[in-house]
């Protein structure tokens, strides 16, 4: 069922940040953002004959607001990096449309892995990877819809299929981030335990 990955991952992320994350402004904004995404995912609007979901618009506005904070070479690098992910996303869907037989596993997982590898190749920090992933997916989905429109194919920008791929790739980024922090957490616990034993 389309949207399944998106809803399950969103609810899990919301629960984790609501009940286990430190109480601060970041936690509040993430919880609010996730709830808004889930709420707006079922609504759509038509703009210049393009059918666009409200969740997509929210993702685009929020991600672009972070992009605009970058300056100089960082902005130029992000421009080319996001263009690469955009082309990757759109090309994957075109191949899936015209030659679906080459997809030997579920398309959502294959797309998520491809996006994940691209974000790891282009950036090192978690937040930069997540921003690149979001902007690239949004731009790629619009490019795909723009080309389909030339052939009068109906397409919803920001559909549940789009949200599934983005959510799955984002979840993999979060898991990787937690795995990176796990040794530091274990080491901290071990050192505290050692101090308690000595005292």
Q: What is the pLDDT of residue 43?
A: 92
Nearest to 132 by CA among 72, 75, 92: 75
- Give this prediction's pTM: 0.86
Summarize pLDDT for 27-67 with one digit per residue, the tens. Answer: 888 889 999 999 999 999 998 889 999 999 999 999 999 99
Summarize pLDDT for 155-166 with one digit per residue, the tens. Answer: 899 999 999 999
Query: Domain locations in the chain?
Result: 4-198
Q: Are 53 and 41 in contact (CB under 8 A)?
A: yes
Strands 44-47 and 50-53: antiparallel
Q: Helices (H), strands (E): how many in the chain?
A: 7, 3
- Catalogue the E-assigned strands of 66-148: none
User: What is the C-alpha separation between 122 and 74, in angstroms, rounded?
Assistant: 12
Cα dihedral sign, 155-157-158-163: positive
């Amino acid at each position: 069922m389309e949207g399944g990955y998106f809803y399950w991952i969103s609810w899990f992320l919301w629960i984790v940040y609501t009940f286990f994350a430190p109480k601060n402004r970041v936690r509040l904004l993430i919880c609010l953002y996730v709830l808004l995404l889930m709420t707006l995912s079922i609504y759509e609007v038509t703009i210049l004959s393009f059918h666009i979901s409200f969740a997509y618009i929210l993702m685009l506005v929020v991600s672009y607001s972070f992009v605009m904070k970058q300056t100089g070479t960082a902005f130029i690098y992000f421009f080319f990096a996001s263009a690469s992910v955009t082309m990757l996303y759109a090309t994957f869907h075109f191949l899936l449309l015209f030659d679906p037989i080459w997809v030997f596993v579920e398309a959502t997982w294959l797309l998520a892995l491809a996006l994940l590898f691209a974000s790891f190749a282009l950036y090192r920090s978690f937040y930069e990877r997540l921003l690149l992933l979001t902007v690239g997916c949004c731009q790629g989905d619009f490019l795909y819809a723009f080309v389909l429109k030339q052939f009068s194919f109906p397409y919803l920008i920001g559909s549940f299929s789009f949200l599934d791929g983005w959510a799955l790739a984002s979840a993999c980024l979060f898991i990787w981030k937690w795995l990176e922090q796990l040794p530091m957490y274990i080491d901290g616990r071990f050192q505290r335990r050692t101090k308690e034993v000595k005292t």
